Every structure is written in structure tokens, then in C-alpha cells.
């Protein structure tokens, strides 16, 4: 279980960096969402751990707020630390622009729940 978790974090961190390095503002939600699938599942509803949430079809505004809160550390319970590492660099720089987050939240909200 622990090993699986570490692999997921590593894979998603790598994907996160590549999504950021490419022209992120032009990237589609689908491509940006690749950063999220390692934990939340390709369809946004098959998380790798029972304690990880299904997010497909969630309201856009809610998704955006949760992602921003996890990024900033406002939402900081034990589980959210796993996700924060993917959203923010080790020195605290966000990996996603506001525009990316907006595109992402829109994409997540349109996935079939």
C-alpha cells in the first residue's frame, strides 16, 4: 500500500512538471487532468485509495475552491498533503496558473459522475 502510494506520487509529480513546462495555457483540460489521474483515476471516479475522493462531475466552483485551498494549505488535513505535493513545487511555487486551474475544474465538472 505504501509503495503503491509513493509510486503514484512520483508518477503524478513527473506528469505535473511536464504539464507545467509545456504551454500550459494552451493545454486542454484533458492533458492537464493527466496530473490528477494517478490518484483520482482516469475517469475521476476510480481513486487508487479508498480514502481518496471521486471527483468526476463535481461542481466546477467547488473543485476550483478545493484545489486552490489544498494548494495554499488552507485545506491541510492528512490526505490533502499528498495532493499538495503535486500542485506546488518543493519551494512553494504553484505548478498551475489560475487559467489552468479554471480549465481543469471545468474539465472535472464535465466528467460523467
According to DSSP, residue 11 is labeled: H
Reported in sequence order, the residue ranges of the chain that DSSP labels E, i.e. its strands, are none
Task: Verify binding: residue 72, ligand HEC, rule CB under 6 A.
Answer: no
Cβ-based neighbour number of residue 64 at 10 Å:
18
- Give the shortest CB-112-to-ligand HEC separation in angstroms: 16
Task: Verify binding: residue 109, ligand HEC, rule CB under 6 A.
Answer: no
Within residues 88-107, the interface with ligand HEC by CB under 6 A covers: 104
Q: Classify residue 13 by burial, with Cβ atoms within 10 Å: 0-12, 13-18, 19+.
A: middle
Chain residues that interact with ligand HEC, rule: CB under 6 A: 8-9, 12, 35-36, 38-40, 52-53, 55, 63, 66-67, 75, 77, 79-80, 82-83, 86, 104, 108
Amino acid at each position: 500500500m505504501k509503495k503503491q502510494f509513493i509510486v503514484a506520487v512520483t508518477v503524478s509529480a513527473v506528469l505535473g512538471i511536464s504539464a507545467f513546462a509545456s504551454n500550459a495555457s494552451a493545454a486542454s483540460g484533458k492533458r492537464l487532468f493527466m496530473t490528477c489521474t494517478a490518484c483520482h483515476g482516469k475517469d475521476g471516479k476510480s481513486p487508487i485509495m479508498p480514502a481518496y475522493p471521486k471527483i468526476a462531475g463535481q461542481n466546477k466552483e467547488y473543485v476550483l475552491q478545493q484545489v486552490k485551498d489544498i494548494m495554499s494549505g488552507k485545506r491541510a488535513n492528512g490526505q490533502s498533503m499528498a495532493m499538495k505535493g503535486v500542485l506546488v513545487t518543493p519551494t512553494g511555487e504553484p505548478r498551475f496558473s489560475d487559467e489552468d486551474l479554471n480549465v481543469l475544474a471545468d474539465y472535472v465538472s464535465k466528467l460523467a459522475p
